[in-house]
Amino acid sequence: MEDKGTHLDLSSDDPSTTSARGKEKAFLGVHFACCEVYARIYPNRDGTAYVGYCPRCAKRVSFEIGPGGTDARFFTAG
Q: What is the pLDDT of residue 62?
A: 95
Question: pLDDT of 13-27, one tens digit each?
Answer: 555 555 566 677 899
| pTM metric for this prediction | 0.66
- Give me the mean pLDDT over the 28-46 stretch: 96
Contact of 53 with 59, CB cutoff 8 Å: yes
Q: For residue 24, what pLDDT is reported?
A: 79
**What is the percentage of the chain residues whose pLDDT exceeds 90?**
59
CB 42 within 8 A of CB 26: yes
On the question of pLDDT at 12 being above 50, the answer is no
CA 39 to chain centre: 7
